[in-house]
Each structure stands twice: as structure tokens, then as C-alpha cells.
């Protein structure tokens, strides 16, 4: 009797599992729809705002993000890599790409050199020894890592050509004119120089040659503000006084100048022109008389 009673209690307890599951799903859906969607989803108003990290209690520059795994803000954060147990950002992004390149070359070398022994073991041309398992397993591992690293390496080379990070590829940065994934793109060559530097001889060497300081980055967007438009359309420096003669008409632009002074300036200007014309005529007459 006792085992039967315990079994029935267990069955009744298990029967409540779907009910509890449905209740949890309803509670979660309410939280996701009401709290997260309606309360914490705030439209971004990025007009001259300052990005601030509540966890680190510091101001976040552009392209800086907080890593929950490292519990710190990372400049130009790309992603958190569990294979190196570190964040990939401005200070080590070039080294991460070189790490992928070196690993790809290593896997290709292992797969290429083991391929002939793999074929011989697979066709039973070599004796069946303990080395067979190691050679077969080594080739499969090298080929698997080669394919995965090649895809990851190609993707990050594409990001370098676009001057984007992995975070910016999924979530476009917001500028004053709106969100734009290509906001930091300066052209293919300049984008590569942003990560690898200007000197090509250092591109494949594990030395830091990235441009900038990680705090500010050049952008291709031009704001249409009145202040920036004034700076952009700033006139060229005035020429020297020797190149541009002073004109009385310029004095008339001064609002404090009286009409009498303006008339006197015009009279003097006409008198000077008359004297010059008289001198030219005198010279012409004297030359004709001598001839």
C-alpha cells in the first residue's frame, strides 16, 4: 500500500509540471512584453549626448562598450573571445587577426603534410599500427580547424575593409544624421591603415601599428549643423595689401562712415584716375612730337 501511495503522489506531482511551465512562460512573456519592451526600450536621442557606463562609472568614448565577462569597458570593442579569455578591441585587434592568420597557416601546413599518410592509411598501404589512429585524427582536427578559422578570418578581413567591429555589424552606430553601418568607413586603403598602420612592412609582424588613440575616430559623415557649416565654409585667408589694392568702395560698407566722407573718397578716386589719364596723354604727345 505504501509504495502505491508514494507512486500516486509522484504522479500527481509530475502532473503539475506542465502547469508550472505554462505559468512561468506567461510570467516571462509578461515581463518581456511589458517591462523590457515598454519601459526599457527608449528611443535614442543622440543629439550631443555623452555616453556613460553605469557599471564602471566612467564616460564611454565612441565605439567603446562594456564587457560583462571582463567587467570593464573596452575601447572599440569587437567581441569577447573565449579562446583567449580576453576581450578583442582597439589595443589587440591587429594581434587577434594575426593570431587567426598564423593559426590558419599552421592548420594548412599540418593538413597538407599529413594528407599523404592519411591516404595511405585509408587505403591500407601502410601497416595497421597505433599511428593510424593518431594520423587520421590529426588530419580531421586540422581540416576542421582550418575550415572554421578560414571562415572567421575571412569575416574579420571583411570587417577591416569596412572599418566595422562585430558589434557594429549587428547594431549600426548612431550619428546625428541617424544610424549608419558605414559611418566610420574611410575607403578600403584607409580602413586597412586604421588597423594595420601605414607601413606595410609591419603588417604581418606582431607589433602595435594601429592608428589613433582609441578615444576618437574619423568618420565619413558630415554634420549639417550651422556651426559646422560655418567652419566648413570658412573663407580662404585674405590676400596681402600689395596684391589687392585698397578701394574706397570698401569703406562704404562701414555703417559708421558718413555720406560726406564717402563722397570725398569717390572724388579723390576720380581725381587720381584723371591725373593718371593726363600723364598718359602727355607722354603720347611728346613721343609724337619727337617723331
**DSSP H stretches of helix in 187-258:** 188-196, 226-232, 248-251
For residues 267 and 263, what is the distance between their CA atoms, to the nearest angstrom? 6
Give catalytic status of residue 81 as yes or no. Answer: yes
Judged by DSSP in three states, 35 sits in: helix
Within 10 A of 76 (CB to CB), how many other CB atoms are there?
A: 25
* Active-site choice (64, 67, 81, 87): 81
Specify the 3-state DSSP secondary structure of 12. helix
Q: What is the largest CA-CA distance in the chain?
A: 152
Block residue for cell numbers 609582424: 205
User: Strand locations in 60-177, DSSP E?
Assistant: 65-67, 72-74, 79-81, 86-88, 174-175
Altogether, the residues listed in the chain come to a count of 291
Pick from 214, 219, 213, 212: nearest CA to 187: 219
63-68 LR contacts (CB < 8 Å, sep 24+)? 63/90, 63/165, 63/168, 63/173, 63/184, 63/217, 64/214, 65/167
Collapsing DSSP to helix, strand or coil, 80 comes out as strand
Q: For helices 2-15 and 17-30, what crossing angle results, to 10°?
A: 20
Just list the catalytic residues: 81
Amino acid at each position: 500500500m505504501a509504495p502505491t501511495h508514494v507512486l500516486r503522489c509522484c504522479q500527481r506531482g509530475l502532473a503539475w509540471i506542465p502547469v508550472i511551465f505554462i505559468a512561468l512562460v506567461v510570467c516571462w512573456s509578461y515581463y518581456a512584453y511589458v517591462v523590457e519592451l515598454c519601459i526599457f526600450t527608449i528611443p535614442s536621442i543622440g543629439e550631443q549626448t555623452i555616453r556613460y557606463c553605469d557599471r564602471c562609472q566612467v564616460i564611454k568614448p565612441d565605439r567603446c562598450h562594456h564587457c560583462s565577462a571582463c567587467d570593464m569597458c573596452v575601447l572599440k570593442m569587437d567581441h569577447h573571445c573565449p579562446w583567449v579569455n580576453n576581450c578583442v578591441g582597439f589595443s589587440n585587434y591587429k594581434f587577434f587577426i594575426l593570431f587567426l592568420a598564423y593559426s590558419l597557416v599552421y592548420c594548412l601546413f599540418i593538413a597538407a603534410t599529413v594528407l599523404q599518410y592519411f591516404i595511405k592509411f585509408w587505403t591500407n598501404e601502410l601497416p595497421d599500427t597505433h599511428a593510424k589512429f593518431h594520423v587520421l585524427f590529426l588530419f580531421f582536427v586540422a581540416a576542421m580547424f582550418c575550415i572554421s578559422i578560414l571562415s572567421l578570418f575571412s569575416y574579420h578581413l571583411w570587417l577591416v575593409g569596412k572599418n566595422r567591429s562585430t558589434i557594429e555589424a549587428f547594431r549600426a552606430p548612431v550619428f546625428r544624421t541617424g544610424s549608419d553601418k558605414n559611418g566610420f568607413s574611410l575607403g578600403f586603403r584607409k580602413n586597412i591603415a586604421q588597423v594595420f598602420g601605414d607601413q606595410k612592412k609591419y603588417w604581418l609582424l606582431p607589433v602595435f601599428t594601429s592608428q589613433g588613440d582609441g578615444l576618437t575616430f574619423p568618420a565619413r559623415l558630415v554634420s549639417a549643423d550651422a556651426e559646422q557649416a560655418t567652419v566648413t565654409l570658412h573663407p580662404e585667408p585674405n590676400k596681402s595689401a600689395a596684391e589687392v589694392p585698397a578701394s574706397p568702395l570698401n569703406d562704404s560698407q562701414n555703417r559708421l562712415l558718413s555720406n560726406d566722407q564717402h563722397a570725398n573718397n569717390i572724388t579723390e578716386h576720380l581725381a587720381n584716375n584723371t591725373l593718371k589719364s593726363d600723364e598718359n596723354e602727355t607722354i603720347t604727345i611728346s613721343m609724337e612730337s619727337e617723331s
